[in-house]
Amino acid sequence: MDRRLLAAVALVAAFGLAGCTGIFGADVDDPEALSADADYEYDTDADAYVTINRNNYTAVYNVSAKVTGDSGTIQLWRTNALTVERPLEISAVQFKHTNGTIIRYADGEVVRIHEDGSREPTDSLSVDNTRRRTIVELPAEEGQLAFTAPKQGKQLTVYTPVNGSYEVALPPDTDAAIPILSRVRPSNEDRRTVDDRVHLQWDSVETSVVVVRWYLDRDLWLFGGLAAVAGLVGLVGSVYYYRQIKRAEKRRESEGFDIEYEDDNDGPPPGMR
């Protein structure tokens, strides 16, 4: 068998063994994960409310503002390192009707939870996935879809399933105000601080993606300290080289290399008379 073909097969196998779901699709409709517990900020006027935590983020979307999916569904996705669309791995899925009724997964089954706490089984909410996207079948055209999704590092990229107003709550003791240390797309200057969290707000987001990269508050002090040290080193270096130049000038003068001759048209230069 051709060596290049063997190498290609080995590469595909390596991706599969390593748990790379980017080729074959992710198992995003695991009933146990969908049944996980989570607290969501339903009391918001934003069409999209995202809270960034240490290892994941939570999202609450107003489904009446959705722009992805067919009638009765909404589509969610991410991209891999090759910018290829892949299903978004979601857990703790819930849907809140406008009357306050919650539909969620519990013990692998979908149940309707009324305001009085009573429960009844229902099949009005479901989660499935294709090779590229997660498909959520919605119980209603109005209400709020909430879920939890994983994140890595100090950057979050959200492919926007709804248009309208957005609010993103950064992790505690972090910020995204200095461009050299952070990135916010679309650009944003509307912010507020609630319980040690900086909240970024957009009145209207019409782009297909929201990107936020943040830094820890202590990173800012570290960066400032490094900048101060670099500035001090530069100042000391400048003073040192300035003094070296002045010493060189004095040495040249003492050795007669920098004697200035006056222009005298009445006779030869000094020493030649």
| Per-residue model confidence (pLDDT) at position 208 | 94
* Alpha-carbon span 105 to 26, nearest angstrom: 19
The type of residue at 122 is T
Q: Which two tokens stand for residue 53?
A: 């935590």
Name which residue leads in pLDDT, 30 or 200: 200
Q: Which two tokens stand for residue 205?
A: 């987001």
Q: Which two tokens stand for residue 217?
A: 């508050």
15 CB burial (10 A radius; 0-12, 13-18, 19+)? middle
- pLDDT of 1 strictly over 60: no
* Alpha-carbon span 147 to 25, nearest angstrom: 19
The rounded mean pLDDT for the chain is: 83
- pLDDT tens for each residue of 125-176: 999 999 999 999 999 999 999 999 999 999 999 999 999 999 999 999 999 9
- pLDDT of 85 strictly over 80: yes
- pLDDT tens for each residue of 26-42: 456 688 999 999 999 99
| Per-residue model confidence (pLDDT) at position 5 | 53
E strands within 134-208? 134-137, 144-150, 155-159, 164-169, 174-175, 183-185, 191-194, 197-205
| Per-residue model confidence (pLDDT) at position 131 | 94
Residue 266's pLDDT band, with cuts at 50, 70 and 90, is: low
